[in-house]
Amino acid sequence: MEALRLYADDEQRRVLMRFFKTGKGQYGEGDSFLGLRVPQTRSVVREARRQVAMDEIERLLYSPLHEARLAGLLLLVEEMKAALPRRRDDPTAGADRREELARFYLRHARQANNWDLVDLSCGYILGVHLLHAGTDGRMPDRGVLDTLAASDNLWEQRIAIVSTLELIRARQFDDTLRIASLLLDHPHDLIHKAVGWMLREVGKRDKDVLVDYLEANHARMARTTLRYAIEKFPDDERRAWLQRR
């Protein structure tokens, strides 16, 4: 916290409070900032990584300060990186630690209570956990994504879909499409954007998969979701899809 406070900037704090919608009735209502840019928070985390006990990370996650919560989440990301098996390791190496970290993250997931906190943490903690075998050699249950999608908490719902980015990078698309379908009728713009973003990432790797999904589901999509999903399409294709909506 002392290291974070060294970077405090009152002008930047005011900018961040507007950018992250901290006004009354907005999604970030009541959040507090020191005024750090993300690279500054990362620099503090680099100095402290793997030296901060889990109970101290938990204290950071429950700080009223946005940058402190981000630091706690990024420290968890570093812990998960260290628990991943190396290329020549047994695939189950570090499995107990990965399970511990994933459970810890899920237990405190609501503390990732803005879109940047979700997006900078969930894939690198929960997403990578789902790609690696447990101690028994079995893959973790991806039903956790469905549970998060069914939550009454906006941030847990965003975690559900954004965590699948790591699965997409591994060319595993089924979970993304399933969770996207669960969230297509969501009323919030932050979910519309997240779902569209993940669909776009699927399309960057296999356009046919995305087009098939759009054919079946475009009528249900918020316009924002569709616009994000087709962002990389040629102009004429993009216009054609938007005209169908």
**What is the widest separation between alpha-carbon atoms in the chain?**
54
Strand partners, 65: 32
Residue with tokens 């990362």: 42
Give the confidence band of 5 by pLDDT, cuts at 50, 70, 90.
Answer: very high
Q: How far apart are CA 68 and CA 62, in angstroms?
A: 8
Q: What is the pLDDT of residues 86-144, one digit of tens each?
A: 988 888 999 999 999 999 999 999 999 999 999 999 999 999 999 999 999 999 999 99
Q: What is the pLDDT of residues 220-231, one digit of tens each?
A: 999 999 999 999
Give the confidence band of 173 by pLDDT, cuts at 50, 70, 90.
Answer: very high
Q: For the stretch 215-224, what's the b/e string if a residue is b when 16 or more beta carbons lie within 10 angstroms of its beta carbon?
A: eebbeebbee
Report CA-CA distances (Å) from 31 to 16, 57, 157: 10, 19, 19
Residue 245: pLDDT over 80: no
Give pLDDT, residue 178. Answer: 98
Q: How many CB atoms lie within 10 A of CB 106?
A: 18
Number of H helices, E strands in the chain: 17, 0
Q: What is the mean pLDDT of residues 196-216?
A: 98
Give the confidence band of 244 by pLDDT, cuts at 50, 70, 90.
Answer: confident
Give pLDDT, residue 225. Answer: 98
CB-based contacts of 142: which residues, under 8 Å, 6+ apart?
130, 175
Q: Rounded to a whole number, what is the distance in angstroms from the first to the last CA of the chain?
A: 49
Q: How far apart are CA 183 and CA 63, in angstroms?
A: 30
Give pLDDT, residue 55. Answer: 97
Torsion of CA 38, 44, 50, 51, to 10 degrees: -150
Tokens for 115?
Answer: 């879109």
Q: Is 50 within 8 Å of 79 (Cβ atoms)? A: yes
DSSP 129-149: HHTS--TTSPPPPTHHHHHHH
Q: How far apart are CA 97 and CA 76, in angstroms?
A: 11
Enumerate domains of the chain plus CATH numbers: 141-245 (1.25.10.90)
Question: Among positive and negative, which fits the CA dihedral 232, 236, 239, 240?
Answer: negative
Residue 1: pLDDT over 90: yes
Give pLDDT, residue 96. Answer: 97
Q: How far apart are CA 88 and CA 190, in angstroms?
A: 40
Q: Is 91 exposed, middle or buried (0-12, 13-18, 19+ CB in 10 A)?
A: exposed
Q: How far is CA 116 from the centre of its chain?
A: 8
